């Protein structure tokens, strides 16, 4: 039996230990905000927070999650998350939106570690989150805006 916390709630899983965390989140826990993009850790759509750091859930066997805290887009909270949400809405960052939960998970993690990120910091954190609509300029602007909101 694998035990973990999902968005603050205690969960357990007794299926195949090789099951990807993404499968558990979407198919078993029915939280569909986290997306399947590539399945090979190349696109970032499946990003969650695992014990406070970003993690690609498509390449994370559930066995490796035992005893950990998992946060998905549905459970995201705190000053950084609120600032990112406001900034995203203010300039209409998403186009199709498929990648956006992953983008936001990475952006919030970045701001938690680096409250005033440079463009280089943003590139370092976000380069693994691909956006097929190429909203990169708005993503970068919204991260700067969220940072300013937190500062102000």
Partner 1 sequence: MKHPRLSLAGGAAALAMLMLSAGGAWAQEGLKAPAEFDQITDPSARSVALFEEAGKVIQHPRCVNCHPAGDRPLQGMDMHPHQPPVFRGESNIGMPGMMCGTCHGAENVEIVGQAADLKSIPGHPLWHVAPIEMAWEGKTLGQICVQIKDPERNGGKTLDEIVVHMAEDSLVGWGWNPGAGREPVPGTQEVFGELIRRWVADGAVCPTG
For residue 131, what are its two tokens? 């956006």
- The 66-105 site mask, x for binding partner 1 (CB under 8 A), equals ----------------------------------------
Least distance from partner 1 to the Cβ atom of residue 95, Å: 20
Q: Which burial class, exposed, middle or buried, applies to 126 when counting CB atoms under 10 A from its CB (0-12, 13-18, 19+)?
A: buried
- Dihedral sign of CA atoms 60, 85, 98, 136 in order: negative
Q: Is 141 in the site for partner 1 (CB under 8 A)?
A: no
SS3 50: strand
Q: What backbone phi and psi angles, to 5 degrees, belong to 77? A: -150, 170
Least distance from partner 1 to the Cβ atom of residue 72, Å: 15
Least distance from partner 1 to the Cβ atom of residue 79, Å: 16
Judge contact between 55 and 48, C-beta under 8 A. Answer: yes
Among 128, 133, 136, 140, binds partner 1 (CB under 8 A): 128
Q: Is 24 in the site for partner 1 (CB under 8 A)?
A: no
Q: Which is nearer to partner 1, 69 or 121 (CB)?
A: 121
Q: Cβ neighbours of residue 59 under 8 Å, at least 6 residues apart?
A: 20, 39, 40, 41
Among 106, 138, 145, 147, binds partner 1 (CB under 8 A): 106
Q: What backbone phi and psi angles, to 5 degrees, belong to 6? A: -120, 110
Interface positions with partner 1 (CB under 8 A): 20, 38-42, 44, 47, 53-56, 58-61, 64, 106-107, 109-110, 112-114, 121, 123-128, 130
């Amino acid at each position: 039996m694998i035990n973990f916390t999902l968005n603050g709630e205690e969960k357990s899983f007794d299926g195949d230990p090789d099951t990807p965390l993404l499968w558990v989140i979407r198919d078993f826990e029915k939280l569909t905000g986290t997306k399947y993009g590539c399945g090979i850790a190349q696109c970032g759509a499946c990003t969650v927070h695992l014990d406070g750091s970003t993690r690609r859930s498509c390449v994370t066997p559930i066995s490796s999650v035992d005893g950990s805290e998992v946060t998905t887009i549905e459970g995201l909270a705190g000053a950084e998350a609120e600032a990112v949400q406001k900034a995203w809405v203010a300039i209409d960052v998403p186009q199709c939106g498929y990648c956006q939960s992953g983008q936001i998970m990475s952006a919030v993690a970045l701001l938690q570690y680096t409250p005033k990120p440079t463009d280089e910091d943003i590139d370092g954190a976000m380069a693994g989150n691909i956006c097929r609509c190429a909203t990169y300029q708005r993503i970068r602007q919204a991260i700067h805006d969220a940072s300013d909101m937190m500062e102000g």
